Amino acid sequence: MNKLQFKGEWHELKGKLRQKFADLTDDDLAYTEGQEEELLGHLQKKLGKSQEEITQLINTP
């Protein structure tokens, strides 16, 4: 998923992640354009999953 798609679909992705991982907060899911790597790293640490697993969760329809 490129940055534009990531930005355009972020609200939908955020809802999907919250449904799957109820302990995620608004702060955990704070996204600023250009900081995709930081967000992925934070989610990886919070959820105890690899970056590949997080990327797969985000990219799964």
By CB neighbour count within 10 A (0-12 exposed, 13-18 middle, 19+ buried), where does 6 fall?
middle
Q: Compute, in degrees rounded to 10, the torsion defined by CA atoms 8, 13, 15, 19.
A: 170
Instruction: Give the pLDDT score at 59.
Output: 74
Dist CA 6 CA 33 (whole Å): 9
Is the per-residue pLDDT at 4 higher than 50? no
For residue range 15-48, what is the model confidence (pLDDT) as tens digits? 888 888 999 988 888 877 778 888 888 889 999 9
What burial letters (b/e) apply to 44-59, b meaning 16+ CB within 10 Å? beebeeeeeebbebbe
